[in-house]
Structure 1
Amino acid sequence: MKRLSIAMVSDFFYPVMGGVETHIRYLSEELISMGHKVIVITHKIGDLVGCRAVGNIKVYFLDIPVLCRNTTFPSLYSNLPLFKEVFDNEKIEIVHGHQTMSNMCIEALFHARTLNLKTVITDHSIFEVGPFENIVVNSLCRLALKNIDRCICVSYTSKENTHIRTMIPLEKIHVIPNGIVSDIFYPREKKQSDERIVVVASRLMFRKGIDLLIGAIPLICKGDPEVRIIIVGDGPMKEGIEQVLDENELYDRVEIICEVDHGEVGDIMRRGDVFLNTSLTETFCIAIVEAASCGLHVVSTNVGGIHEVLPPDMITFSKITSEDLAEKVLMALKKNNHNPQDYNKRLRNIYSWERVAKMTEKVYVDIKETSLSYLDRRKEFKGATGFISRFMITMEYIFLFFLGGKSR
């Protein structure tokens, strides 16, 4: 197998914690262990600027201003010199962007096609097609991803959503699930106490259904006076949770852990009996796989691609109401007769990062060498509606010319 030179690009990476960040880190580490060269390109985070090492991964923290939600300011052409310099210095062959809502990802892939590099994007989320801001983003994605070589989605639900939004042909879209680290997420040998514990691990934001969680907490605690709840995560809706704890005097029964390293999440999950997921939209939800691998039964809203992730006996689905979530959690706590070791044994082979990396490697290898000229790219956008796209592509090549560069 030829050694590949790959650049992972996204606005989302460590030290910020999240599903995309974790995916990039462990996929990169596994590809490196398989003999490939992998670097990560992201924006500066606090004092992290320039080229740094994160574990055994070389990471470029580029000095690009952040607009909001940890995403960079859209600047289609001005970042071309930065990306080109890194691609050239590292002799990159494949640019693999992560998340269509990442400006860095979209810009890097657009520039990579200009430089005739192979391109892959992994879309980790499901987005509505309707809202105005999403229409704008989807239009930009269709321009930047028009000539994408391959697309990876983490569920079949996500595949359909990405196809509709970006118009990437279905034959170019592959479904590869997320992975888990079996050394971190494994079940306890035996229960240390008679406590009944519910674990929640999530960003505390609206789309994660934290409003539902806020409503469910007092109902769960009222329904079982012995239950305790552990919430792992931080975000803008943390104050709402703290308020409901104050109003119901539940601070002695609900623990909030804001800052935790990903390697410590497994230790917290092993304390629990039931894992609660309240998401309003979700492509895959790696947290429910991690929880089930630790031997917890999962109670979750049935949204997005969640129904594809776990076997039916490992998960109980709830209506999107606080009342039904609380009822399903209390039922799961009362039943609680599953075999945690069996959960782990069945999941760790399906969701191993080694398997994910091998499937991703096959996607890379199957991409044929293609050389797109300026005229080839212009021809992709026809009629009056394609005028803006043709103009933007023309400006890209003019800018590259004045940089003294050329397509490979």
Structure 2
Amino acid sequence: MGAGDQGLRKVSVEWVRVGDVLELQRTPIDIELTESYKRIGIYSWGRGLLHRSEVPGTEMGSLRYYTFPTEALILSNIQAWEAAVAVTSEAETGYVASNRFLPYVPKTERVDVRYLAHYFVSERGLGQLRSASPGTQVRNRTLGKKLFEELRIPLPPIDEQRRIAAHLDAVQDYVAHLASESITFPLQRLPTVVGDVITEAGLPVTTVGELLSVVNTTIHPGEPLQGATEFVGLEHIASHTGDRLGSRAIHEETGRKFLFRPGQVTFGYLRPYLNKAWVADRTGLCSVEQFILEPVDGLAPELLAHLLRSAHVLDRAVAATNRLQLPRLSLKTLLAMEVPDIRVAQPGLTRRLDLLRDQFVTLSRIDKRREVLRDGMLPAARNEIFTAMR
């Protein structure tokens, strides 16, 4: 039976008790306050071991510490329920582990720990770890040593275990290679690229306040809605692109709201690093955490929104608010910012920036889809193999 055809048919294998084939092996140490120690951690979801920085004995806390063998299956007893499972190697020589880590070694030559590490990260194996980690809250979900050792696991012949482990290791390496070679187009880069395009237009300098006027039409609870039927808050606006992600119907509103109309730009001044500026295409209400901005005559609202989301404004907004516990950009600061005077830009600039934004959105969606497919390869390979075992 080869590892590549595991999912083609059900496979009968021997099922054994964990405690019959693995044993806990670690050696307690006394922490010397004058010595330094290097500790390990385990990443969740089977992503390997973490090497923590060396610290003096005075910073080791009250936990008990142990040395542990190489080529051991090691689990975090407080995070086993989220697949904090790994295999130790020579790279961990000189490191210590607290009592929260359980290193197991084979009792016999019938067991390959790399095979077991892949098994316990699969859906079937992880389900068993969770059943052995009772508790309803994250802090209380602790892997019980006795419960773990009572689990029954599939154990093919040792040569087959090694073939399966080698196959899954190869898939894991291939996925890592794909991740390292991928070229991404994160939307966080869009403000910089848009800013560069606007800069390249060679426009004179003006201030934001010269490009717009501020509209403060306030609607209090119980007042006429002046044609508004929807509420569009900051949660409904996409960062960096200005796309509207949704809205909600207006019903019994609490607190005052701002009224916006088509062609106006809503600009989120609360947490300005989120970079949310939207060109309204309807009449509605928004929170008072947004400025309502009216472009000056002759200035396309879409071009104004591109400028407001670009690095010309975003970088200054972040710099002006990054020391605040709850960042809020003042209207005075926004209006005083020096920016390229887009009133005299060539007519094609808006269209160019629209296309640029759309390209980034498309590439970002492709990146996310590719990432989902890539990240699903190893779990799918594991599940195909282990769910076939009966």
Structure with greater contact order relative to length (CA < 8 Å, sep ≥ 6): 2
Q: Does the alignment reach a TM-score above 0.5?
A: no
Q: Which has the larger radius of gyration?
A: 2
**TM-score normalised over the length of structure 2:** 0.25
**TM-score normalised over the length of structure 1:** 0.24
